[in-house]
A = this chain, B = another copy of it.
């Protein structure tokens, strides 16, 4: 019946009339203990209101069964999904992952990583904050702790990465727009401090290049990766002397913003201006019009990252293969009908 001071295995031992070692073995589920003894001990555990002290145990065991997940933005459902995917895997492996949010702040990230290490985690899955400095993980690497990057990678790092095929996704989406007859395209949102940005922009550019869109017709408008950023991007684009007719957006939030801004100007997304998003968050399907977007299966990537981590821990290595997840373009309504059948002169040689 729960004393003031917390109970230890010694209290259990006294209660059950055995030694502390026996209690320890029971706690670890060892088969060496006689079943009757074990159940006697288990009863005592209940009676004294014992809670296991993992910190003390780790002092000897060196193997800690807790894994840290460091997420750059938990309020973005895209990353929340990632976390949930990982959790699913860890749960069935009997591990409780602790999630920490960095709010896209490298300083905060530093604190969080430090704290997680001090806590003695067995491994770390990280979606690094924007602007993470190259050296941020050096200390962790030299400590020999397994780390996996999810969704994002760092420019020069040797840490394994689990991420979607951003290049290919952007390529597919852009090709789709070009196939619809668009001849002047724009890439909306993001900024170059993010590796993902370069990947997606690269796919956009390659598609333009291989499908005969000149560099001058492959525009780029940087901006915040949020609804607000999308609104701003669209304003900028439409203010151009020769505005584009279609946009590939850095992510769905930007796409929603762009569609909102279109509506505000009396333009209909899809028919007047084509929009493709990236990530395919749950909301995309339910929007009006439903958003065409590149699906990346973030929960699936989370599961994959968790599996890789488990494997690394098990084989006590700090290296693993990168894994680039498949993407696919989910075509909905936000790119409207085929432009070529609708307006034969559109997009080429307009003098306006």
Contacts of A320 in B (CB 8 A): none
* A residues apposed to B, CB below 8 Å: 2, 4, 6, 49, 51-56, 58-59, 66, 74-75, 77, 80-81, 83-84, 87, 91, 96-101, 103, 108, 111-112, 115-120, 139, 142-144, 227, 256, 260, 263, 283, 286, 288
- Measured CB to CB, the nearest residue on chain B to A69 is B99
Cα distance A108–B88 in the bound complex, in angstroms: 10
CB distance from A220 to the nearest CB of B (A): 25
Q: B55, A84: Cβ atoms under 8 Å? A: no
Apart from A54-B55, A91-B111, list 8 A-B contacts with CB within 8 A. Answer: A51-B118, A55-B56, A74-B74, A83-B101, A96-B112, A96-B116, A263-B288, A288-B288
Residues of B within 8 A of A142 (CB): 2, 49
Give the CA-CA distance A75 to B76 in the complex, in Å. Answer: 9
Q: Which 6 A-B pairs have the closest CB atoms?
A: A55-B55, A98-B98, A96-B115, A2-B142, A99-B99, A54-B118
Is the CB–CB distance between A83 and B91 below 8 Å? Answer: no
Closest residue on chain B to residue A1 by CB atoms: B142
Whole-angstrom distance between the Cβ of A171 and the nearest chain B Cβ: 29
Residues of B within 8 Å of A87, CB to CB, are 101, 103
**Residues of B contacting A118 in the complex (Cβ-Cβ under 8 angstroms):** 51-54
Task: Kindly list chain B residues whose C-beta atoms are within 8 Å of the C-beta of A263.
Answer: 288
A91 / chain B contacts, CB cutoff of 8 Å? 108, 111
Q: Is the CB of B143 within 8 A of A55?
A: no
Report which of B4, B52, B286 forms a contact with A260, defined as CB distance below 8 A: B286
